[in-house]
Amino acid sequence: MAQDTDGLLLPDKLGNFAKKLTEEGEHSAGMDLFRTLLDVSREEEGRAQSRWGFDLWHYQRILDLALPPLVLADPCGAFNVLSDLLESAVKSHDRGLEDYSQAWRPAIADHPQNELTSIEDTLVTAVRDSAAPCLHGGTEAVTLMRELEDRGYPVFRRLALHVLQSLEGKGLRLAEERLEARANLLDRRLLPEYAFLLRSSFGRLSPESQGRLLGSIDQGPDINVAKYEKNHGHTPSDSDLERYRRHWQFEKLGFIEASLTGTWLDRYQEFLLEFGRPERPPEFTFWITSWTGPTSPMDK
């Protein structure tokens, strides 16, 4: 597909055409064109690329033009197409089921840490924002969770946790199931969304559920000694392993610091004395900081 002579107008024309098809009742044709226009090819320099050579600005422009009427006409159809596109973008990395999404999308929610500089970023936002209209359109939350989680990639599991947080009380049972799953507690690839959901939901969980979660934290991490040796360059001593366990517990309790009471609060305060207040939010695996120094008084 070649762009017209000035190289700028074609994306707008195509986006408007997809919009017009939908608004005039040709929902299926509009959806098919939308999917085709936003298709991705294999990555270049670590990022997915538009199959048709659209840069990120024009890719986003097509989304902005064509998506709103599609969401109105068929919210769950739009959600599924966007999810397919995001899965294709992640698959283009060819890294199995590892997507390293925390590096290119630190938070599913809008957050200053997000740079929003890739097609993957754009599609994450679109999938996230299309979930609510799909739910309002009649899809059960459990069905939406399954559709996201069955795609396997961590970014989709993070999206599912984000959607559960937005459901508040209506999704409490589903949230409880995912928060209590020890595999999720141990999986750092689900941060920060697991931590956000835990923080917002913990006080509303049943006492039994709270007890099971705190018991899992008390159990400590499943320490992979070989991985520890690789990361630290030496075989861990018993005291190394104990410190690692305590720091892991400190991090997890930090997610629910405001909800801790009694002996758990006392324990967390002991950890604070031992480790100090973290310099970055513990729920973020990646945290980017910047610093600007004083202006030099020297003339150039």
The encoded tokens of residue 119 equal 């097609």
Cα 278 to Cα 255: distance, rounded to the nearest angstrom = 12
Q: 115: domain range?
A: 9-206
Assess if residue 297 is contained within a domain.
no
Do 111 and 127 meet the contact criterion of CB atoms below 8 Å apart?
no
Q: Does 159 lie in the same domain as 274?
A: no
Instruction: Note the pTM of the prediction, 2 decimals.
Output: 0.90
Asked if 147 and 157 touch (Cβ cutoff 8 Å), the reply is no
Structural domain total, the chain: 2
Q: What confidence score (pLDDT) does residue 7 get? A: 55
Note the pLDDT of residue 289: 66
Residue 107 lies in a domain: yes
Predicted confidence at residue 5, as pLDDT, reads 44
Owner of token pair 């991490």: 221
pLDDT at 40: 92
Q: Are residues 239 and 186 in the same domain?
A: no
| Residue 293 in domain | no
Report if residue 263 sits inside a domain: yes
- Pairwise CA distance, residues 93 & 100, whole Å: 10
**Mind listing the pLDDT tens digit of every residue in the chain (300 residues)?**
444 445 567 899 999 999 999 999 999 999 999 999 999 986 666 678 999 999 999 999 999 999 999 999 999 999 999 999 999 999 877 677 789 999 999 999 999 999 889 999 999 999 999 999 999 888 899 999 999 999 989 999 999 999 999 887 778 999 999 999 999 999 999 999 999 999 999 999 999 999 999 999 999 999 888 888 888 888 999 999 999 999 999 999 999 999 999 999 999 999 999 999 988 888 988 777 654 445 544 554
